[in-house]
């Protein structure tokens, strides 16, 4: 199964432009080589919201806050010759944020 790609803004503009020119969805699909479901999804989204581009997708919440990042830098600079596992323990004790050593 192939990974789905989101349409770029140009392709969405082409679909909406053709639809506004009264070209049927099936013809738009055939002319632009997009599946009919994709064409109708773009058209229906435009009809419902008036927007061509959908809102950005939510992403994973960051593990560290800005305060945590500053504290981590402080801990590392203060103890430059201390092994990483000890630095990690000090950071976890100070912030109660558990992070893997491999994500640092």
pLDDT of 10-64, one tens digit each?
Answer: 999 999 999 999 999 999 999 999 999 999 999 999 999 999 988 887 888 888 8
Same domain, 43 and 71: no
Closest by alpha carbon to 10, among 42, 35, 48? 42
Predicted pLDDT of residue 101: 62
Structural domains of the chain, count: 2
Helices assigned H by DSSP within the chain: 9-20, 25-32, 36-49, 66-78, 84-95
78-103: average pLDDT? 78
| pLDDT one-digit tens code per residue, 30-43 | 999 999 999 999 99
Question: Do 42 and 70 fall into the same domain?
Answer: no
pLDDT confidence tier of residue 1, bands split at 50, 70 and 90: very low
- Per the structure, the complete domain to which residue 15 belongs is given by 9-49
Say if residue 45 is in the same domain as residue 72. Answer: no
């Amino acid at each position: 199964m192939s990974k789905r790609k989101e349409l770029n803004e140009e392709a969405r503009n082409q679909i909406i432009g053709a639809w506004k020119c009264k070209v049927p969805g099936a013809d738009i699909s055939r002319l632009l080589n997009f599946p009919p479901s994709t064409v109708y999804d773009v058209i229906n989204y435009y009809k419902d919201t008036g927007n061509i581009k959908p809102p950005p997708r939510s992403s994973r919440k960051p593990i560290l806050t800005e305060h945590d990042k500053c504290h981590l830098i402080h801990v590392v600079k203060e103890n430059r010759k201390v092994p990483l596992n000890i630095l990690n323990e000090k950071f976890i004790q100070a912030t109660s944020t558990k992070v893997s050593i491999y994500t640092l």
